[in-house]
Amino acid sequence: MKIIADVGGTRGRWILVDKTIIKKIETAGYNPYLNNPSLLDNILYSLRSQTKTLNINQIFYYGAGINNRETKDIVKKLLNNHFKKTQLDIFSDLLGSCRALCNKKKGIVSILGTGSNSCYYNGDKIERQINSLGYLIGDEGSAYTLGKKFIKMVLRNELSKEVIKKFYDYEKIDDNYLKKIYSKNSYKMITNFSKFIIKYKDDISLKSLLKLHFDKYFKEIILKYNKKELYLTGSIAHYFESEIREVSENYKINIIQIEKDPIDHLVNYHVK
């Protein structure tokens, strides 16, 4: 029996398969750049307790932040602690999206979720990749980058009065709000602003914000690949599909497919 895992920054999905899907388990997400290894250790402890009666002989782990030997080794060591004598195959979540959406086709593949990432996939492997650079200096198109721009415009009164009022009521903003933003754990809070934006995205001022947000994403990332076929995964890609397609048409980029979660397609890739 195999486990096929897609572990992003916000949540993880673990699919137990034999010839068909046996069980689906959802957990918290994990990114070795942002989270303490103890988080993944706790996730795996819970996962093992739910599968201890099953013979797991192989795990395909596709995860956020798996882009060098160091982060790969962190995940491999923790997996090995809980799943001894199990074959472990550890890849980036970006390669997972490539395999899930493209299979053997060529194209630009990009994840737009909590963070963002992209590459050109040649139908077999990642051929070229523009470094995401993470949320501090990159991550164009991501939920975090969108949330950061949004809260700046709110606090400078650059959005419509209706949106600002609704957000003040939604978030309970007070004189100490900047202190909250600059707290140690504000990354998740800023990322979650995207949920509010989704709800009110038809407001004209938010439409303008979203156009600028995705236009920068295309200019900074997608156009640099000089290719026309684009595949997208992730929650931001899913919930803002119409806004992204509008910008893509301006640049004559053909969006072939958008999937919120690649995991079911990954199962099809690995289970012939």
pLDDT tens for residues 176-223? 888 888 887 788 889 999 999 999 999 999 999 999 999 999 999 999
Is the same domain home to 41 and 171? no
Expressed as residue numbers, the domain containing 185 is 144-195
* Closest CA relative to residue 96, chosen from 61, 134, 132, 141: 61
User: Are 161 and 254 within one domain?
Assistant: no
Percent helix / strand / coil, the chain, rounded to 5:
45, 20, 30
223 and 161 within one domain: no
Looking at the structure, tell me whether residues 82 and 23 fall in a common domain.
yes
Q: Is the per-residue pLDDT at 229 higher than 90?
A: yes
- 59 is written with which tokens? 């795990």
Are 228 and 125 in the same domain? yes
> Do residue 229 and residue 102 come from a single domain?
yes
The count of domains in the chain is: 3
On whether residue 163 sits in a domain, the answer given is: yes
How would you label 144-180 residue by residue, b for 16+ Cβ within 10 Å and e otherwise? bbbbbbbbebbeeeebeeebbeebeeebebeeeeeee
Each as own residue / partner, the long-range contacts of residues 182-188 (CB below 8 Å, 24 or more positions apart, any chain) are: 187/34, 187/135, 187/144
Same domain, 17 and 118: no
pLDDT in tens, 49-69: 888 877 888 999 999 888 889
pTM of the model: 0.85
Q: Any idea what the CATH number is for the domain that residue 122 is in?
A: 3.30.420.40
Distance of alpha carbon 78 from alpha carbon 55, whole angstroms: 18
Cβ neighbours for 77, distance < 8 A, ≥ 6 positions apart: none
Are 222 and 244 within one domain? yes
Are 222 and 132 in a shared domain? Answer: yes
For residues 43 and 94, what is the distance between their CA atoms, to the nearest angstrom? 21
Spell out the residues 6+ positions from residue 72 whose beta carbon is closer than 8 angstroms to its own. Answer: 66, 90
Whether 35 is in a domain gets the answer yes
Do 119 and 158 lie in a common domain?
Answer: no
